[in-house]
Every structure is written in structure tokens, then in C-alpha cells.
Amino acid sequence: MKLKAYILLFLILTGFAGYSQEDAVEFNASVSKSKLGVNERLRIDFAMNKDGDNFTPPNFEGFRVLMGPNQSISNQWANGKRSYSKTYSYILTPLEKGNFTIKQATVEIGGETYKTLPLNIEVTAAVDNPNAPKSPEDIAAEKLHLVAEVSDSKPYMNEAVSVEYKLYVSPDVNLYDYIPIDNPKYNNFWSQNIEIKRLRAENAIYEGKQYRVVVLKKVVLYPQKSGKLEIEPLTLEVKVEVPTNRRDIFGGRVFQQANQRVTAGKKVIDVKALPEKGKPADFTGAVGNFQFDVLLSKSDLKANESLTARMVVSGSGNLKLFDLPKLTLPSALEVYEPEFEEQVSTYITGMRGKVTESYTIVPQYKGKYPVASVSFSYFDPKEEKYKSISSAQALINVYEGPSSGTTVANTNDVNTKQPVVADKSQFRFLKLDANLSSKVKGGFFNTSLYYVLLLGPLLLIPIAIGVGKKRKAIAMDVEGNRVRKANKLARKYLSEARKNLGSQESFYESLERALHNYLKAKLKITTTELSKDRIRELLSGRSVKLEETEAFIGILNSCELARYTPSTVTEMENDYEKAAGVISRIDKQIV
């Protein structure tokens, strides 16, 4: 009885566990094509991953139903997991040309009502051969879209505008590689590319359909003139695998390769000129949100000592595209040309950081010297008005030194230089009497140090001979050297992945990057050449065995799969060992 009770309890617990791991409900609509001729047919499928009741189709406004609904059910078990699919299919024909929207269908699953997303369909003039199957290029053209997203289409001159180039890829298309064909030049803009360290695919909705989207390029622009400015299009050559209507012997969909050229299209930005009303006389083109100050390293010093006056502008805006105001000082102060320094970073929202001009000042005479207030003006595009910031007045107190014989406290004439008075105290750091003395106590001959230095080189001769023989033996061991070199190279590239064991996303990112970096360094190729077909071709040409090549590709596939499925620490350690082993073996075979 106890055994039966334990079995019953086990079945109940596993049943609850299986129920808790069930997939979320999905109810989607898909069409065979989103653009068709008025004499063509359209297939639409409404698919759900759970059995539902009370399915209600849309009214198919603008179309006539030729066939349907046809119902199909798929029920499969794989690795102990059930996969269920139920689909309602219709065959439609358009009634006229134009743009139409197939509205939402509804179904009840588990007591709740689910709806599909609306679908947009474009109906064109009649085509010559409506029954001709689509070519892979036609399918790719429908399932790939390159879009340039502009943050602000009406900015002010010198205000930051970001452009993101996004590639939308249909979920049933496999993206292999892309090559830029025509890069925009951004005439009349100051531009800065934002580095994308790793491409990431995310789910998104585009024109009412599910897509995977990848951000390929980010750039920040600062328009340098007003009016309507054009952003040239980005054009890419994209290599994909698209599904066909054919099936293999196991019932799986057959894919076919296609090369498709996509372009983002031109974008027009209407740049507003900075207003003339209220523009300060000292405005030099700064646009953004800034802070400003003038800082002295010290205010009390002696004559011929130096101090530094730093003029600092910090904040966010076009920090590299304007001039700083000039510092006005009394003529009795020796002022050197300012040193310019910038600590500016460019983000997708624009530039942030600070720019500095440092003046080195050397007073020649005793006295008190005023540092006049300095004004800095900029235009705030958010509040659409000019703003001015003035630094506080300061006083340089030279409390010791020769007197100039004139009052300098109130003069601000920077064009007149006072003569420099020679003072013996200026050169007091020069020592004229050397007064040298010997530091050696007693003799050196016949001391212990003398004999150590004399006989030490003789004792090193047998050690050097032994080391030489050892190095020669290692050099003669060709196979051992290849093994040691290969293992060292594997550890070098996989060290970062080893540190990230336990963090799934970081580990597999590091592992994939290590594999790519190894190939780039070993084969002297670029990132754009790292498609799986290209890797097979390159390794085969360098005399690497086929099984090692496929093992390398298999680890790359594991890295891609791990982004969507959970992995344990044991699985990550196994993948790490596999990667280290395959790199070591490939390095010993590669020619």
C-alpha cells in the first residue's frame, strides 16, 4: 500500500511539474504574401498552440472566400515534451486593387479570449502569371526590411540627431551575412559613429507582423546648416536562407539560399536656424545644456611663481564644435598660450563631457591683480532660448617680489608687457660650489665583493651550458612544441569564457567571441567573412580534418542555441572543454 501511495504521489507531482512548464498560449495569423495582383490568390492561416473553442474568423472585407475553413491538427512528442498545433486555413481572392486590412480573429482557450493581430495586404494590378511560384529573391524581398529611424526630424542647427539602422528579418528566414554596398556620407553634418560591440536580435512588430530586429549601425549627427538636409540611404547585400514549398523525406521544410539587396531609403531633416532675437554678442555656436566656470589653482603666491587658470565648460551638447571665451588678465602678468584638453564621449543621445583651456600665469611684480568675470553663452534647444553664465571675479595676490613702481591692480591691458626685472633670487636654485666628497670607505681589492664579481661569471658557465642543452632538446621536440603551442593558444582565447562560467549569457558570448577571435587571428580574416560556409571553406583549404571543422561549427551552434534555452553549469563546462579541445586540435593540423 505504501508503495502505491508513493507512486500516486510521484505521478501527481510530475503532473503538476509538467503543467507548470507548459508553454504560453499563442494565437497568430499569417498570410502567404502581403502583396499580390488582383488576379492572384491569398492563403491565410490562423494557428494556435492549444486546443480552443468558438473560433471566429474576420469578415475578410475586400476579399472573397474561395475555400475554407480547412482545419488541420498536429500533435507530436519530442524528448518527452508534447507539441500541439491547430490551424484554420482560408483561400481568398481580392475583389479590387488597393490597400486592405484583414481584421482580428478570435478564439476561446482555457476560458479566455485570444485575438490575432491585424494584417495589411496590398493588391496591385493583374500579373502575367498568377500561378507562378515565387523565386527565393521574391520571398526574401517580402521578409527583409532595412529601416533608418531618426530621433528628431526638425532639430535646431548644431543639435544632436541620432540615426539607427535596423534590419527586420521574418522569423522563418535564416540570416547568414550582410555586406555594406553603399554607406551614407552625411554631407552638411558633423557625424560620429557609435560602436556596436555585438549584434543582438530582438522580437518586434513591423507593419503588423512579427519580426526579429537587429540594430546594424548607429550614428550621431550635428547639422551644420539650416534648411532641408538629406541623409543618404544605407544599402546592404544580405545573404539569407528562405523557406520553399518543398519538403524533405522527413516532412521538414526545404530552405534555399538567396542574396537580397535592401536599402533604408533617403531621409530628409528640416533643420531650424538658431534665432537671431536675443542672441548674445559673445555667442560662438554652443548648443545644448552646459555649466561654466573659471578656476585658479591658487590665489596667493610669490613673484616668478606660477599658477594655472582653468576655463571649463561641461555638460551635454556640441562640445567639439564651438570656441571658448578668452581670459582677460592684467598686463603685468606673464600669460602663456592656453593648453586645450577635452574629455568628451559620444553616445546615441549626443556628446557629453567637458572641455578645458588651461592658462599658465607667472606674475613678475608684487601686487594684487584682479581676474575679471568671463561670460559664456549657449543656446538651449529644449527651452528654445539663449542662456549666459558668468564666472565669479577673483584676485591674484602676489605678496612677495619686486615692485613695478606703478599701480597695476586696476589695469586690464593685455597687449602691453611690463619689462622683466632680473633678480638674483630668481636663480637661487643653482648651486655654484660643488663641495664633492668621496663615499668609498677603505679599499676594494681583496674584499669579498671583489672575489664574488671575479669568480661569479666562471660559475655561471656550467649553468648556461645546462640551460642551452635543455632549450635545444625542447626545440628538437617538434610534436611536443606543437602540442604546447596549441594548448597555450586555446587557454589564451578561452580565458575570458572561463571567468564567466556560471553566468550563461556572459559565458556563451565570451565563448563565441573567443572562437571568432581565434579564427580571425589564425586565418587573418575579418569579421564579415565569418559565416559557417566560409569557415568550412577556409579550414578545409588549410588541411583541417572534416570532423574537427564540424566540431568547431557545432560549438558555434551551441552558443547560438544557448541564447534561447537554459543551460546548467555542467553543460557550460562541457562546452568549454569541447572548445579548448577543438582549438588545440585545429591548431596542430592547420597549415
Amino acid of residue 527: T
How do residues 549-577 score in pLDDT, each as one tens digit?
A: 888 888 888 887 776 667 777 878 888 88
pLDDT of residue 324: 92
Place 258 in a pLDDT band, splitting at 50, 70 and 90: confident
The hierarchical CATH code for the domain 137-271 is 2.60.40
How do residues 146-176 score in pLDDT, each as one tens digit?
A: 999 999 999 999 999 999 999 998 888 888 7
Protein fold of 2-131: Immunoglobulin-like (2.60.40)
- One fold for both 137-271 and 478-589? no
Q: Which residues contact 387 (CB under 8 A, 6 or more apart)?
A: 377, 378, 379, 380
CA gap 68, 90 in Å, rounded: 4
End-to-end CA distance of the chain: 69
Amino acid of residue 514: A
How do residues 63-118 score in pLDDT, each as one tens digit?
A: 988 887 888 787 776 666 777 788 888 988 888 888 998 899 999 988 888 999 88
CA gap 115, 107 in Å, rounded: 7
CA gap 572, 507 in Å, rounded: 8
Closest alpha carbon to 585 in 487, 480, 495, 459: 487
Is the pTM higher than 0.75? Answer: no
Place 432 in a pLDDT band, splitting at 50, 70 and 90: low
> What is the average pLDDT across 372-381?
94
Comparing 364-368, 408-412, 562-566, the range with the smallest average pLDDT is 408-412
How many other CB atoms are there within 10 angstroms of residue 435's CB atom?
A: 5
Domain residue spans of the chain: 2-131, 137-271, 288-427, 478-589
> What is the average pLDDT across 232-251?
78
Closest alpha carbon to 222 in 381, 343, 386: 381
Protein fold of 478-589: Four Helix Bundle (Hemerythrin (Met), subunit A) (1.20.120)
Comparing 122-136, 207-221, 504-518, the range with the smallest average pLDDT is 122-136
Give the architecture-level CATH label for domain 288-427. Sandwich (2.60)
